[in-house]
């Protein structure tokens, strides 16, 4: 292996498929500072890659790349990262998996031979194939050939050009930004904060978005001048590496895929659609089951994970390992049904019933785990099932994205019905009627307030959002209010011509990458577990968007074509039960002495005044409404997670 044009500092080498952490520093100007800061960054994300790490500094001192490894495939030393290309012209640090890398390698070898070139691969890992493909084809063409999940940093030495790229849907994270005159990037936001001298202030304008959604949506982060690279996007940066020099480009758009799919719908029968979807899903599952370490799957009582596990068992010659957690509270417990599904499929099933104490013990870990405010409370059971799973395997497949791709949420048709009624009323009349309702004596009642705001909605996406949150107190929690844009679709309303499809698209663009995938990635990587999502395979996503709504939902029943596949392997009567969801009774727990004392300490008025970020009076009103009148607002958890993060970062309590 060649190590030209730079210097190396490796702990243990890393190789193969890598569910890892990457980091980089550009143009810091001092080699000693670069190495020290890179070590701080790598230390902060060690859980993402506990099996080893490496640092590379370019010979001109401009670029420093770092890597932490969780080994999955080809456990030899031949795939060490950061990696230098065969030509010596480029360096790469990469987190993820290219599932079809063997096919890409064959095409690359053929195309290189046509040009009289020969590439002799020294490993069996996807990193080397990816790097040589980028050098040969260019980043955008190379990515068009690849199927997988990834965050990539590629440095071209002669031109001093850095290119970052993130996978199509946003399975793997990638943060970047500027601080103290340097450019930096990382898989972990906390890793950037670990750089010596980090003093980027909190971006207060983003707090309204956070308190509305419980997450900070891309491209923003909690810090000024630090961003999330959006899914399907490349960022190119050349000397002098200033923000003005950065160029962003979308190389793949799920909106374009949705529009194209609905313009060219699948023409076969529903059975034929199920046959084709099963073929694509089996191929995705087959690709994602490749690993040189133990592999398993999360299994709930739902359609999505049940389908994935069924196909895994069909593709495996051994019993698939499956994992479920149960809750003591029967209202939240699906473990018994999951166990029946596992027994029917013949998997090697592991189940753990967690107590309130188990769940509450996770809460202090959350601020460091997510590195910025994040408040989907199912983060707690997701962490616990990941922890259980990691005791047995290193890789786990999940059923995420089934709802967004196959119209699973009941709110989709409910929103379509609401929009179908109000859109018949001319907008000026609706606007006036809504404003009149807001001024009526009944306006303080929740249902009246909801109806008044929905009446004034200008699009089905807005109706959908308002159906969840309409309380004006949301926008009074933060002291400083911003007007940061958070688009719900790229091209406005009626993107696909069908309301349910438009809302599914909105969720796949926003809710899924900013909430679901963040939750799964951070909780799993906190215990060094790799997660894979077969539904997000490029071919599966593109086919799903060709399906007519009649193949997805009828009345209260969604995911019809997915059910058609699942019922081939699991009896219908075993699956047709109300879904309880993957959640915890956080509302109940916050009224119990231990957590209530923790919460009231976090939101003490004097503490909030000293911080100067939240409005103490509004926070206390929300809390007293809950404790005295049993008025639950999900913003209670959002506030507590913000405060827990703030204390961990700024008060030394991590």
The predicted-structure confidence for 580-618, as pLDDT tens digits, reads as follows 666 788 999 899 988 999 999 999 999 999 999 999 999
What was the pLDDT predicted at 12?
36
Q: Are 219 and 485 in contact (CB under 8 A)?
A: no
Asked whether 470 and 425 are in contact (CB, 8 A), the reply is: no
SS (H, E, C) 561-598: HHHHHHCCCCCHHHHCCCCCCCCCCHHHHCCCHHHHHH
- 283 secondary structure, DSSP code: H
Q: How far apart are CA 226 and CA 232, in angstroms?
A: 19
pTM of the model: 0.93
Residues whose CB is less than 8 angstroms from the CB of residue 534 and which lie 6 or more positions away in sequence, other chains included: 281, 284, 285, 288, 308, 311, 397, 540
Which residues have CB under 8 Å from 321's CB, separation 6+?
A: 294, 295, 296, 297, 347, 348, 349, 350, 392, 393
The per-residue pLDDT for 77 is 58
Question: Given this model, what pLDDT does residue 185 score?
Answer: 97
Residue 494 has a pLDDT of 65
| C-beta of residue 246 within 8 angstroms of C-beta of residue 536 | no
Predicted pLDDT of residue 240: 85
Q: How far, CA to CA in Å, does 157 sit from each of 4, 9, 238, 422?
A: 11, 19, 11, 58
* Residue 402 and residue 304 in contact, taking contact as beta carbons nearer than 8 Å: yes
Q: Which residues contact 624 (CB under 8 A, 6 or more apart)?
A: none
pLDDT (tens digit, 9 = 90+) per residue, 15-25? Answer: 333 458 999 99
Distance CA 295, CA 430 (A): 54
Q: What is the pLDDT of residue 78?
A: 62
Q: 493 CB contacts (<8 Å, ≥6 apart)?
A: 458, 459, 460, 461, 502
The stretches in the chain having pLDDT less than 70 are 1-19, 28-31, 49-51, 70-79, 442-447, 469-470, 486-494, 579-582, 652-654
Helices and strands per DSSP (H, E), number in the chain? 28, 18
Give me 27's structure tokens: 């143009």
**How large is the greatest C-alpha to C-alpha distance in the chain, in angstroms?**
81
| Cβ–Cβ < 8 Å for 94, 163 | no
pLDDT of residue 11: 39
Measured CA to CA, the distance from residue 547 to residue 550 in angstroms comes to 8
Main-chain phi, psi angles of 319, to 5 degrees: -65, 130
In which residue are the tokens 């370019």 written? 58
The size of the chain, in residues, is: 654
């Amino acid at each position: 292996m060649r190590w030209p044009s730079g210097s190396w500092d490796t702990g243990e080498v890393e190789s193969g498929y890598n569910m890892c952490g990457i980091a980089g520093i550009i143009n810091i100007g001092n080699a000693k500072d670069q190495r020290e800061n890179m070590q701080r960054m790598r230390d902060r994300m060690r859980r993402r890659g506990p099996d080893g790490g490496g640092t590379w500094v370019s010979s001109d001192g401009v670029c420093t790349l770092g890597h932490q490894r969780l080994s999955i495939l080809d456990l030899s030393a031949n795939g060490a990262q950061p990696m230098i290309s065969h030509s010596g012209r480029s360096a790469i640090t990469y987190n993820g998996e290219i599932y079809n890398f063997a096919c890409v390698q064959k095409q690359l070898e053929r195309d290189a031979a046509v040009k009289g070139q020969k590439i002799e691969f020294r490993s069996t890992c996807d990193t080397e194939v990816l790097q040589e493909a980028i050098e040969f084809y260019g980043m955008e063409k190379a990515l068009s050939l690849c199927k997988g999940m990834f965050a990539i940093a590629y440095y071209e030495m002669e031109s001093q050009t850095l290119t970052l790229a993130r996978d199509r849907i946003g399975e793997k994270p990638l943060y970047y930004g500027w601080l103290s005159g340097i450019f930096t990037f990382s898989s972990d936001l906390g890793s950037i904060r670990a750089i010596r001298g980090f003093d980027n202030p909190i971006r207060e304008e983003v707090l309204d978005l956070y308190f509305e959604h419980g997450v900070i949506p891309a491209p923003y982060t909690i810090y000024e001048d630090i961003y999330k690279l959006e899914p399907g996007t490349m960022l190119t940066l050349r000397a002098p590496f200033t923000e003005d020099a950065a160029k962003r480009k979308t190389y793949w758009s799920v909106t374009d895929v949705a529009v194209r799919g609905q313009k060219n719908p699948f023409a076969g029968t529903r059975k034929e659609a199920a046959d084709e979807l099963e073929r694509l899903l089996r191929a995705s599952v087959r690709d994602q089951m490749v690993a040189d370490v133990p592999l398993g799957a999360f299994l709930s009582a739902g359609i999505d994970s049940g389908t994935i596990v069924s196909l895994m068992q069909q593709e495996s010659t051994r019993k698939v390992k499956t994992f479920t957690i149960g809750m003591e509270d029967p209202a939240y417990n699906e473990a018994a049904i999951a166990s029946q599904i596992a027994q029917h499929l013949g998997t090697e099933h592991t189940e753990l019933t967690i107590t309130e104490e188990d769940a509450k013990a996770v809460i202090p870990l959350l601020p460091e785990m997510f590195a910025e405010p994040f408040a989907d409370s199912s983060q707690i059971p997701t962490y616990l099932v990941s922890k259980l799973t990691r005791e047995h395997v290193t890789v786990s497949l999940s059923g995420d994205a089934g709802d967004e791709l196959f119209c699973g949420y009941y709110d989709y048709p409910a929103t379509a019905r609401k929009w179908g009624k109000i859109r018949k009323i001319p907008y000026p009349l609706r606007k006036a009627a809504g404003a009149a309702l807001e001024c009526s004596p009944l306006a303080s009642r929740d249902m009246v307030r909801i109806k008044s705001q929905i009446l004034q909605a200008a699009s089905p996406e807005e109706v959908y959002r308002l159906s969840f949150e309409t309380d004006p107190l949301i926008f009074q929690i933060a002291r400083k209010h911003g007007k940061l844009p958070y688009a719900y679709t790229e091209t406005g309303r009626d993107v696909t011509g069908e309301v349910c499809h438009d809302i599914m698209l909105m969720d796949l663009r926003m809710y899924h990458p900013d909430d679901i995938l963040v939750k799964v990635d951070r909780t799993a990587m906190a215990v060094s577990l790799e997660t894979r999502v077969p539904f997000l395979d490029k071919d599966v996503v593109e086919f799903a968007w060709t399906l007519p709504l009649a193949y997805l939902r009828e009345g209260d029943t969604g995911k019809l074509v997915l059910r058609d596949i699942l019922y081939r392997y699991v009896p219908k009567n075993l699956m047709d039960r109300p879904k309880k969801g993957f959640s915890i009774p956080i509302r109940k727990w916050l009224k119990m002495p231990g957590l209530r004392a923790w919460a009231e300490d976090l939101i003490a008025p004097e503490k909030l005044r000293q911080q100067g970020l939240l409005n103490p009076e509004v926070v206390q009103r929300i809390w007293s409404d809950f404790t005295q009148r049993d008025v639950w607002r999900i913003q209670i958890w959002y506030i507590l997670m913000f405060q827990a993060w703030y204390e961990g970062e700024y008060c030394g309590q991590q």
